[in-house]
Chains A and B, each alone.
Chain A
Amino acid sequence: MNMDAIKDTYFAECGDQLAELESGLFDMSSGDTDPEIINSVFRAVHSIKGGAGAFALDDLVNFAHVFENALDVIRSDNSQSSPERIDLLLRCADVLNDIVTVARDGGDKIDCEEITKALENEFNLEEEDENAEEAVFDAVPISLDAFDFDDFGTPPKAFQIAFAPQNELYLHGHDPQRIFRELGELGTCTAKADTSKIPALDGYDPKVTNLSWNLTLEADANLSDVKAPFEWVEDFCTLEIEEPEEAPLEGGDDISDFLGGLDAGDDVDTSAFDDGDSLGAPVDVSEESEEAAPSLEVVETKAAPPAEAGKERQAASKPIRVDSAKVDRLINLMGEMVISQSMLTMQINDAGFTSGTPAGLALVELQNLTRDIQSSVMAIRAQPIKPVFMRMSRVVREVASATGKKANLVLEGESTEVDTTVIEGLSDPLTHMIRNSVDHGIESAEKRLAAGKPEVGEIRLSASHSSGSIVIEIRDDGAGINRPKVLEIARKKGIVSPDAKLSDDEIDNLIFAPGFSTSDEITDVSGRGVGMDVVRQSIQGLGGRVLISSEPGKGSHFTLHLPLTLAILDGMLVKTSEQILVLPVTSVIETIMFNKDDVFVIGEGNRVLKLRGQLVPLIDIGNTLGFSEKTTDWDNATIVVVESRKNEMSALVVDSIVGQQQVVIKSMESNYKRIPSIAAATILGSGRIALILDVDDIVSRGAKEITAQPSPKLEKIA
């Protein structure tokens, strides 16, 4: 692994940390005071800073450092938190995000001087002396020069060191041998063990350290070099270092001769200092003491709970990272499995095995399993929509600040899980819609106050599951769609004819028309010539629909319906003109047998079905799609009543219903081209291709045919 690869990991991790940061701050801004939230926020900035330092990303380190200090103020004392401060922290998160982006992709240096100052003022952070900071980061006192020490040009000096470790020293994992070894790297070190304090065996307490050393170090080093190896043990020992006089002392040899000598550069065996008994070996003593002294068991039991608790918490949920290509492959394979299963079902049924036979039972088992596997695999791809929602809070902040408006984003159902592909495709249209809501929907603070509304506008973004689809709603409490203005613009731009009479709903929907923009001037925020038509296309591209409703003075309400998954559909298979077609089960209301008495003709041969007192357009689907000439003999036909996402119904006439099964969606656009009224295609168990109908499109066509009649007149069919 090279540094570039580690850097990639770093930036990927930054993405996670930034999401964590923003999500935590957002929770804090909604009043959540759980200390774990500020901890995770702090950790996020802290980790970003840590990695940035390693890659010498100085801008990032500097800003993260101030940011971290500010967060630490709240972390240490939650009463220091206030809405204004959290708002500032949220803006800092945006800036941090930008700095990370520049560090990763390059680009102009982000100017963060102003916000840094604001942070320092708001949180009373003292501007740090750069040198002081430097000193802090240089806290590891290992002199690299000392390791390379081989210049004995100047005569060595002899330091006298009296070193008496305390129990604590061993308890902290230190070992005098290692200190001697390090001293030995400075020059020649000899050590004399002082065993005089070791008591006789009957008074011996294995938990008490009695051994100390007198060392002589001959080295051309200064006092701080000699002190360095003791840095971590200073508080756990008595240490006296006597600096040499000008002239180097000789006599180390004597000491070493006297006690057998110890060159600290070699492997040190402390038993050499006495008879080899464990008495003199501190490490052994302390290890033995654990077995010997029952009091230590108390320590063990005390320490056990955090370890176990930690394990438990960890076992609860531990995400793993998987290459999305692997998941995609799994999804594809599962799709193929669904197809194979339906082929098998067909073969087994054709062979005459009914559901009561062993083969039939095994098949049912297989179907259940396939369904379970499918939902499990889909769950892998599903992610909470939260990260996308979190990004919207930044959008609201930025647009509000750019337009001088005041707006608050309220999130609901952000833990709703949505297919990854849908999430990816949702970010752009959602951003655009939220921008529009702030820019065009929410009024200025003055206007709002004048209208008796709260000064701060509210945008409510919610996600939920509803009968096999994801529903995302954006509600604002702004001015609502200005219908006269929309109509005027649409007429001016030739989107509608000057004399067309449109319902409120139709006027509202004009904002989705290509090339429509209600803004008088193209603003920085939502203009740029990209309108709601692009939003609608994006949503449709995800297999979804976008609806609007609006109330003047009260606000607008956008509803996005998105499929749970883009890969599999529960389909009803119907037959018409020898073609098998698939209808999404979610859009089927009921199936009824054709009854002539319920069918009427309106105007020029348009048929409608009278269904419980309501007239529903009747569509001969085989004819509409061009499979057959319009047929009048519907005596043996079946009617499938379907409903669009706009809650409009149509009655589709088909020859028969074939069955119900899951189908794997194969895109028409990517394999062929878009065909009106067709949503996608699939491969059936027989290997045959079947088209999946776009119910919404079919229903809206049926409705148009009927409403296009100037004065509909109901007639009984012949």
Chain B
Amino acid sequence: MTTTVLAVDDSRTMRQMLEHCLKGAGFDVVLAEDGADGLEKLAANEPKVIITDINMPVMDGFEFIEAVRGGDSKSRLPILVLTTESDAAKKERARNAGATGWIVKPFDPEKLIGAVKRVMP
């Protein structure tokens, strides 16, 4: 069975890129464009891994991670933070919110897939 990845990013470019890379590696991809959209897509699909951007309008990545972690049976899903933020404080905040791991943009497709494989069941 193919593994579904939920990718949340407000940038169309990034969403297309994530979709391209992940699909190329044989994953099913569900896309969302901000945290709120991400929660809706999470409720409607069965992703095994979540990738999320941090800086997003409407609901940012921190809020999104907290909402997922505080949610129902899907609260233990691995969440990878995908962001260009390089400073340690952001990473720390993401982790405190419940992030499983992080990938620093610009991502190398192989690194992205490697990181997803690392946390997927």
A residues engaging B (CB < 8 A)? Answer: 1, 3, 5-6, 9-10, 12-13, 40, 42-43, 46-47, 49-54, 61, 136-140, 142, 144, 147, 170-175, 177-178, 182, 229, 231-232, 235, 283, 286-287, 290, 299-300, 302-304, 306-307, 309-311, 313-314
Complex-state Cα separation, A462 to B24, whole angstroms:
50
Complex-state Cα separation, A345 to B13, whole angstroms:
50
A-B contact pairs, 25 of them (CB 8 A): A1-B20, A10-B13, A43-B56, A51-B14, A52-B106, A54-B17, A137-B106, A140-B102, A140-B103, A142-B118, A144-B111, A144-B114, A170-B76, A171-B69, A173-B76, A173-B78, A173-B100, A178-B121, A299-B69, A300-B71, A302-B70, A303-B66, A303-B71, A306-B63, A310-B63
Besides A140-B102, A313-B36, 11 other A-B contacts (C-beta < 8 A):
A6-B17, A40-B57, A42-B55, A53-B105, A54-B105, A139-B86, A140-B111, A302-B70, A306-B63, A306-B67, A311-B39
Complex-state Cα separation, A446 to B111, whole angstroms:
60
B37: min CB distance to chain A, Å: 7
Contacts of B56 in A (CB 8 A): 43
A309: min CB distance to chain B, Å: 8
Contact A13 B11 (CB under 8 A): yes
A569: min CB distance to chain B, Å: 37
Listed from nearest, the 5 A-B pairs whose CB atoms lie closest are A303-B70, A53-B106, A310-B36, A310-B59, A142-B114
Contacts of A174 in B (CB 8 A): 78, 100, 119
Contacts of B103 in A (CB 8 A): 140
Contacts of A172 in B (CB 8 A): 95, 98-100
- Given A50-B106, A142-B114, also A313-B70 (CB < 8 A): no
How many residues on chain B are close to A (CB under 8 Å)? 55
Contact A173 B119 (CB under 8 A): yes
- Given A47-B11, A51-B14, A302-B70, also A232-B100 (CB < 8 A): yes
B32: min CB distance to chain A, Å: 11
Nearest chain A residue, comparing its CB with the CB of B77:
A173
Contacts of B37 in A (CB 8 A): 314
- Given A173-B98, A310-B36, also A299-B118 (CB < 8 A): no
Interface bits B105-121 vs A (CB < 8 Å: 1, else 0): 11110110011001111
Complex-state Cα separation, A310 to B64, whole angstroms:
10
Contact A311 B100 (CB under 8 A): no
Contact B100 A54 (CB under 8 A): no
Contact A306 B114 (CB under 8 A): no
> Of B34, B104, B119, which one neighbours A310 at CB under 8 angstroms?
B34
B118: min CB distance to chain A, Å: 6
Complex-state Cα separation, A161 to B77, whole angstroms:
26
Complex-state Cα separation, A680 to B55, whole angstroms:
50
Nearest chain B residue, comparing its CB with the CB of A56:
B106
Complex-state Cα separation, A102 to B95, whole angstroms:
38
B99: min CB distance to chain A, Å: 7
| Interface residues of A, dominant DSSP | helix
Contact B118 A229 (CB under 8 A): yes
Contact B59 A178 (CB under 8 A): no
Contacts of A177 in B (CB 8 A): 121
Contacts of B106 in A (CB 8 A): 50, 52-54, 61, 137
Contacts of A54 in B (CB 8 A): 13-14, 17, 105-107
Report if B16 contacts A (CB, 8 A): yes
Complex-state Cα separation, A178 to B76, whole angstroms:
14
> Of B11, B76, B79, B99, which one neighbours A287 at CB under 8 angstroms?
B76
Contacts of A140 in B (CB 8 A): 102-104, 107-108, 111, 114-115
B67: min CB distance to chain A, Å: 5
Report if B93 contacts A (CB, 8 A): no
Contacts of B36 in A (CB 8 A): 307, 310-311, 313-314
B15: min CB distance to chain A, Å: 9
> Of B14, B66, B114, B120, which one neighbours A50 at CB under 8 angstroms?
B14
Contacts of B105 in A (CB 8 A): 50, 53-54
Contacts of A47 in B (CB 8 A): 10-11, 13-14, 55
Contacts of B2 in A (CB 8 A): none
- Given A178-B119, A300-B71, also A3-B20 (CB < 8 A): yes
Complex-state Cα separation, A278 to B55, whole angstroms:
39
Complex-state Cα separation, A53 to B17, whole angstroms:
12
- Given A313-B58, A314-B36, A314-B58, also A6-B20 (CB < 8 A): yes
Complex-state Cα separation, A119 to B98, whole angstroms:
35
Contacts of B104 in A (CB 8 A): 136-140
- Given A54-B106, A313-B36, also A178-B10 (CB < 8 A): no
> Of A46, A147, A173, which one neighbours B84 at CB under 8 angstroms?
A46
Complex-state Cα separation, A226 to B34, whole angstroms:
35
Contact A286 B76 (CB under 8 A): yes
A176: min CB distance to chain B, Å: 12
Interface bits B46-89 vs A (CB < 8 Å: 1, else 0): 00000000011111000100110111110111110000101000
B83: min CB distance to chain A, Å: 8
Most buried by A among B10, B12, B20: B12
A52: min CB distance to chain B, Å: 8
Contacts of A310 in B (CB 8 A): 34-36, 39, 58-59, 63
Nearest chain A residue, comparing its CB with the CB of B113:
A142
Complex-state Cα separation, A142 to B101, whole angstroms:
12
Complex-state Cα separation, A52 to B13, whole angstroms:
10
> Of B35, B55, B75, B100, which one neighbours A46 at CB under 8 angstroms?
B55
B121: min CB distance to chain A, Å: 7
> Of B13, B70, B102, B118, which one neighbours A13 at CB under 8 angstroms?
B13
Most buried by A among B56, B69, B75: B75
Contact B115 A137 (CB under 8 A): no
Complex-state Cα separation, A173 to B116, whole angstroms:
13
Contact A1 B107 (CB under 8 A): no
Complex-state Cα separation, A302 to B11, whole angstroms:
28
Contact A306 B66 (CB under 8 A): yes
Nearest chain A residue, comparing its CB with the CB of B11:
A47
Complex-state Cα separation, A182 to B14, whole angstroms:
27
Complex-state Cα separation, A140 to B98, whole angstroms:
18
Contact B70 A51 (CB under 8 A): no
Contacts of A13 in B (CB 8 A): 11-13
